[in-house]
Amino acid sequence: MTIQIIRAAVLHFPRQSQTPAADIQYFAAGGLVIDDGKIVDLNDYGLMVGRYPDADVVDYRGKLLIPGLIDSHIHFPQTEMIASYGEQLLEWLENYTFPVERKFADPVYAQKIADVFLQQLLRNGTTTAMVYSSVHKEATDALFSAAQQRQMLIIGGKTCMDRHCPEWLQDSAQTAQRQSAELIEQWHGKDRLYYCLTPRFAPTSSPAQLECLGELAQQYPDVFIQTHLSESRQEIEWVKSLYPDADNYLDVYDRAGLVRSRAVFGHCIHLVDDEWSRLSESGATIAFCPSSNLFLGSGLFALHKAREHQVHVTLGTDVGAGTSFNLLRTMGDAYKVCQLQGDKLDPLTGLYMLTQGAAVALQLEDKIGNLNIGTDADFVLLAPDFDTLSTLRLRDSSKTDNPADIIFALSMLGDDRAIAATWVNGCLAYQQQEEQLYAMD
Ligand code: GUN
Ligand code: ZN
């Protein structure tokens, strides 16, 4: 394979940082050198031409190259029920989610939607996602196979639920444990795939099921864990009545051994102080899903509290409760949620949360999240000039090299039109075509 130099403005965060705006690495006229799926050099383009005389040059001048975006909370079977009207969490699950997830009992259907789902990620610049599958093992196989074909780094898991949902969507404590173990053995660490233990949330898992998954967490200390925590007030009251002995909602998971690093808790809107402290000391991560929280009317996540308690926070679209696959737009929603609380989310901190911050939280920063030498070549080309309005808005920032302003404006104005191309593992995985913008597919 020939060495390639990607010529563009380049922005990333090379290290873990508490102050991302101060820790960027930026090349206005950069060159990213890739070879055999890995990043092998990054510097000013002018320095690269002499150093790699035989390399192919891919010219993306006028575009801004950033690391592939990381979505830390999304549901693949909910792709087709995005933007379903009118309900808050528990009714939304009953009325829309469970009936749609039932369709994934059919592996052929699951495979079809897995393709659509991954294509949506790529056209939005998302190269890694932490994904809830349905309760079905075969649907989870379909997701992993589709990701493997595209060489994507995907973290996924079979959703486990053994009560308080329709009978046709239930597993049991034992089948959840057995099937999750089989999926770990088959997929975890294979190519770029990782397994994630996935109890849906405390109301739909019996104490026995949580314990079974906790056993697996102990048996496989490097697998990921994901679930929902403290999303809606009604849900929290329900959990209190189902687990009267637990100190708080997080404690339900903690007693089962499910609170640790590489565990990602979605939402965390209504936490009490003990939960904040425990999340902090355990090294667990919160997936902040602002679009979903606004859509379901769940509440406003307190990002300032997470900062105070030094808890890892990543961003998730939470499609189908989130209304866009686009993580830059999701970051725009996070900005608005912070504004409603008198807080500010600066665009470089937002971008850090979508890239290096997420990689650090998930302990994957030696592979993804940055453009350091030796990491996997997953990256995205942003188009600041994707339409008339963005061109007008950003012409000065593009001239004066203000990448923070470009990121901010795209987080407000952008969508998949702002994604010119997405590269995965050193290969072009998606390129925007003019006609694709208007295709009725
Ligand atoms: N809580 C339990 N399941 C779900 C889900 O599918 N989506 C959201 N947003 N919250 C949940
Ligand atoms: Zn969710």
Residues 34/426, Cβ–Cβ less than 8 Å: yes
Beta strands in 276-406 (DSSP E): 285-288, 312-315, 379-382
Domains in the chain, start-ordered, CATH in brackets? 4-68+371-431 (2.30.40.10), 69-361 (3.20.20.140)
Nearest ligand, CA 266? 2
Residue among 14, 16, 78 nearest 266 (CA): 78
Here the tokens at position 232 are: 């809606």
List the shell of residues around ion ligand 2, using CB closer than 5 Å. Answer: 266, 318
CA of 267 to the centre of ligand 1 (A): 9
Region at 205 (left for phi over 0; alpha for psi -120 to 50; beta for the rest): beta
Closest C-alpha to ligand 1, atom 11: 228
Residue 1's pLDDT is what?
Answer: 66
Q: pLDDT-derived band of residue 434, with 50, 70 and 90 as boundaries? A: low
Handedness of CA 335, 337, 338, 340 (dihedral sign): positive
List pLDDT tens digits, range 384-423.
999 999 999 998 877 778 999 999 999 999 999 999 999 9
The model's confidence at residue 49, banded by pLDDT at 50, 70 and 90, is confident
Q: Which atom of ligand 1 is nearest to the CA of 201?
A: 2
Mean pLDDT of 229-247: 98
312-334 pLDDT per residue, tens = 999 999 999 999 999 999 999 99
What's the whole-number mean pLDDT along residues 225-237? Answer: 98
Whose atoms come closest to the Cα of 77: which ligand? 1
Task: Report the pLDDT value the prediction gives residue 438, as an integer from 0 to 100.
Answer: 41
Pocket of ligand 1 (CB under 6 A): 75, 89, 93, 97, 200-201, 228, 231, 292, 318, 321
Average pLDDT, the chain: 96
pTM recorded for the entire structure: 0.97
Question: What is the predicted pLDDT for the residue at 348?
Answer: 98
